[in-house]
Amino acid sequence: MRRLAFMVACVLSGAVLLGGAAEAHANYVRSNPASDARLVKPPTEVRIEFSEPPDPKGSEIQVLDTNGKRHDKGDVGPSGDPNGLRVSLEPIPDGGYTVAWTTTSAVDGHTTKGSFAFVVGSGPLPTPPPVPDAAPPPSPLEIAGRALSYAGIALGLGTAFFVLLVAPAATDPRRESSLLGLAGALIVAGSLTLVVDQGATLPPRLGVMLAVRAFAGLVLAAVSITPRLALMRPVGALAGGGIMTIGPLATFRPRRMIALAAGIAAAMTATLVSHATALGSLKSMALDFVHVLSVSVWTGGVVALLWGVLLVRRDETAEDARALGATVWRFSVTAMIATALLITAGVLQAFDRLVLIDDLYETPYGIALAVKITLVLVAVAIGAVNLLRWGPRLRAGIRARAALVRDTVAETAIFIVIIVAASFLTAFAPPAQPSAAAYDRTQHVAGLRLEMLVASGGAGRNTYALRVHQGLAPVAGAEKVAFRFTMVEHDMGQQELVATERAAGEYVAEGSPTAMYGTWKIQTIVRIVGREDVSTVFTLPVSAPTGGGTTTSQVVTIGPYTAIVFTDPATPQSGAPIGMFAVLVGKDGNPVTGKQVTATFSGPSTQAPIAGIEDAATLGPGRYKFAITALDAGKWNITISVGNEGAGAYSLDVSR
Amino acid sequence: MSRLLATVAAVAVVVSSFAINTNIALGHERRAVGPYTFVVGWINEPAYVNAANGLSLDVTETSSSRPVEGLAKTLQAEVIVGGGAKKLSLDLTAEEETPGHYAGSFIPTKTGDYIFHIFGTTGSTRVDERFESGPNTFDGVASTDSLQFPDRIVANSDLAARLDSLQTLVIAAIVIGAVALLASVRGLVIRRR
């Protein structure tokens, strides 16, 4: 028992050490050129940063003009950033370009796709191609590989646990060996199938995990042979004695210990390439591991009970029936504990992975989970009948083996479907999968699933996207999707952005309605032909300036005035247009209008002075806008002067 | 120092924000339709749910600002909610005291945006215009919640929504009750055997 505890401790600590704070899918975070950027000068490369390390081997970045002609050199490689990729560009003329990227997660090999657009010179942004699902559906080969692996893990671990700790004496050794051999074969076949599915894009980390799993499968297969070797011991000795080296393993207890360790190791690999590891929390990983262990003990144990005990033992006499009843009782208690752990871990995991209860029928992940939950409940009900009805009969010396065989066969059939559902479950991205957006919230309103995504959490220009789904289907062709912005802390009036549909069910608007930090309410209005408006409110926190370079807002004293100066975007990039704003406030706190405000530039290159444009109707009173075509990268000192009344200094960092 | 600057910036921005109110919702929307100017809004503003209200329409000649009369017979109006989910034709009536002013009364029973669709002819000009409430046009219909005192009257739409949500719970309770009943009956039958 101590040895077993030691092994479990080793495996658990291994899981802790090997688990990284990674995400299951590499999502787009930012890029240079930025999405929808307007550049004065053509870039020489495109850099994209993702939410987790991408595998360059399985990744591609294509830069296409409006005719679909490629302008990248195809040399995708690491950008220097741990999560970044880059691709070189040929010299490109003015025009609109679409960057279509595909990347493979180095964590679990899942593929994500996306695209964005930028413009060199003037002209409209190209319409990006319809955005495919960020995480494409899994391939049948992947589902098959997962199902085979999970079936093998459950069978191997459950059988080993059953024969070692539940009913050591009651099991037929040859039948035990056949179950372990089958488990090993399933694990090896599943691992190989997953390797074939990934092909040349198999990330190294995933490759290591699958190799460990396949090795565990081989160990299970090897220990299943040892009783036969034991029977051959004299023959082996005659053959040269080499085979005698595994002689000790031929005794039951050590080989069962090894089988259990192999099963636990295989289960650990399942956790380490799962969504639990992707969520990056130790709690999630521990819950997932407990979930895998308990489901294996239960399901594999039922099969071991059926194949190794119920189909072999008899209950013709009262004594036989009582002996069988005692075995069934021991397993029933084990199964009850395993089921309690399984349900507890599963429910706690569901809290982390589902956003809304509606996810259970509105997302592929949720549907797979709902199917799994339903089947587990049916299996639990059958188990309860065994525990409360057939078990007591046997223990009372009454025959009930045939009924138990019938029920456990039914349970086994249900377990097969559960394992297939679990294969889908682990292959789909959970609804709570972290996205690249700074703000990502989902609400269910009037039968629609509304997911609001805001690209940046800072003040200034931003991109707002609303994904609208009804059930699993995106709601395309909405008559109008509008976002209305009101600030909670102050009465800033209400501003509206009307979104355009960029992809089926995805409505995007860009602008600067949340120019001030604080709490903003975004009322979304979705108007669908023939329906009443669907409206809800999202609360968006816009982060405060930290002075650490995340904002360009500065207070500048200009003679008798105070100016709040900031730029849009908040983090300007070289070659792209910059809107610089100065809000001029008098000593009485009121905005100052009708002044000649000028910005003079000193920096890495020459930039002519720019006169501020006052347009109270559009910008508001006292707000002056400086339309800067582009600045070179580096630090700029900008002097802002108000007529002859005074001048103040504003500094601006422009990134590459 | 940077913290001090940030605080000053925050205060300054907040103070200035009171004055920089760029998008005050207008009471009516003014739009040129051919040689005419249409001004559309609510009869009573702000418009509250379940309170008598209606379309307020003023038509003038843009060049002379002269009111245009006699349009009650040549123009039609309807009020629309959502994507045409529900429409109501309005009877446009002219007000003798205010030439060029027309009204179509109804009681808005939902909060949110409304669309006034005005069509027909004005002189020789064909008219087919949609005026939609919003931040830059005229206000939508607001809830009366903040005005109610001392007791709050729940709106019909809120009650309907609550009943809808309760319906699911009631169905679930009935199913659980039925299962419990079946289990009890089965238990009784087994005990009698």
CA distance to A65, A130, A559, per residue, from A100 (Å):
11, 11, 50
Q: Is the peptide bond before A33 cis (omega within 30 degrees of 0)?
A: yes
In this prediction, residues B8-19 reach a mean pLDDT of 43
Q: Are A63 and A93 in contact (CB under 8 A)?
A: no
- The reply to whether residue B20 touches residue A528, judged by beta carbons under 8 angstroms, is no
> DSSP character for A199?
G
Please name the member of A532, A544, A591 whose beta carbon is closest to the beta carbon of B82. Answer: A532
Residue of chain B nearest A516, judged by CA positions: B13
Residue B64, SS3 per DSSP: coil
CB within 8 Å of A452: residues ≥ 6 apart: A439, A440, A441, A442, A443, A464, A465, A466, A522, A524, A538
pLDDT, averaged across chain A: 81
- Counted across chains A and B, CB pairs separated by less than 8 A come out at 112
Calculate what percentage of chain A has a pLDDT beyond 70. 81
What ipTM describes this predicted complex? 0.72
CA terminus-to-terminus distance, chain A: 61
Please name the member of B16, B84, B113 whose beta carbon is closest to the beta carbon of A530. Answer: B84
The answer on pLDDT for A12 being more than 50 is no
**A516 touching chain B per CB within 8 A:** yes
Q: How confident is the model at residue A142 (pLDDT cuts 50, 70, 90)?
A: confident
> A511-533 pLDDT, tens per residue?
778 877 767 889 999 999 999 99
pLDDT of residue A410: 93
Contacts of B14 in chain A (CB under 8 A): 489-490, 516
**B31 touching chain A per CB within 8 A:** no
pLDDT of residue A173: 83
pLDDT of residue B87: 93
In this prediction, residues B14-37 reach a mean pLDDT of 63
> DSSP character for A596?
-
The answer on pLDDT for A108 being more than 80 is no
The answer on pLDDT for A248 being more than 60 is no
Residue A277, SS3 per DSSP: helix
pLDDT of residue A3: 44
Residue B157: how many other CB atoms lie within 10 Å: 15
- The reply to whether residue B13 touches residue A583, judged by beta carbons under 8 angstroms, is yes
- The reply to whether residue A590 touches residue B19, judged by beta carbons under 8 angstroms, is yes
> A292-304 pLDDT, tens per residue?
999 999 999 999 9
CB within 8 Å of A523: residues ≥ 6 apart: A483, A484, A485, A486, A535, A536, A537
pLDDT of residue A621: 66
- The reply to whether residue A528 touches residue B112, judged by beta carbons under 8 angstroms, is no
> A258-317 pLDDT, tens per residue?
899 999 999 999 888 876 776 667 888 899 999 999 999 999 999 999 999 999 888 888
B1 class by beta-carbon count within 10 Å (0-12 exposed, 13-18 middle, 19+ buried): exposed
Shortest Cα–Cα distance, B10 to chain A (Å) = 9
Q: Are A507 and A468 in contact (CB under 8 A)?
A: yes
CB within 8 Å of A565: residues ≥ 6 apart: A552, A553, A554, A555, A556, A580, A581, A582, A583, A640, A650
Pull the structure tokens for residue A67: 């005719």
Shortest Cα–Cα distance, A653 to chain B (Å) = 17
Shortest Cα–Cα distance, B115 to chain A (Å) = 11
pTM of the shown model: 0.60
Shortest Cα–Cα distance, B2 to chain A (Å) = 6
> B66-116 pLDDT, tens per residue?
999 999 999 999 999 988 889 999 999 998 889 999 999 999 998 999 999
User: Which range (A56-65, A367-376, A388-397, B103-112) has the least confidence?
Assistant: A56-65
- The reply to whether residue B83 touches residue A479, judged by beta carbons under 8 angstroms, is yes
Give me the residues of A, 157-176, that contact B with CB < 8 A.
none
pLDDT of residue B74: 95
Contacts of A527 in chain B (CB under 8 A): 82-83
In this prediction, residues A594-612 reach a mean pLDDT of 91
pLDDT of residue B23: 33
Q: Is the peptide bond before B150 cis (omega within 30 degrees of 0)?
A: yes
Please name the member of B6, B25, B81 whose beta carbon is closest to the beta carbon of A532. Answer: B81
- Spatial distance between the Cα atoms of A210 and A11, rounded to a whole number of angstroms: 16
Q: CA angle at residue A79 from A73 to A81, to 5 degrees?
A: 165
CB within 8 Å of A246: residues ≥ 6 apart: A226, A229
pLDDT of residue A214: 94
Contacts of B86 in chain A (CB under 8 A): 532
- The reply to whether residue B13 touches residue A516, judged by beta carbons under 8 angstroms, is yes
pLDDT of residue A212: 94
Helix axes A204-231, A140-161, angle to 10 degrees: 40
**A623 touching chain B per CB within 8 A:** yes
Query: Cα-atom radius of gyration of chain B, to the nearest Å?
Result: 27
User: Which range (A177-186, A223-232, A623-632, B123-132) has the least confidence?
Assistant: A223-232
The answer on pLDDT for A237 being more than 60 is no
Residue of chain A nearest B135, judged by CA positions: A494
Q: How confident is the model at residue A25 (pLDDT cuts 50, 70, 90)?
A: low
> A612-634 pLDDT, tens per residue?
988 766 666 678 889 898 888 88
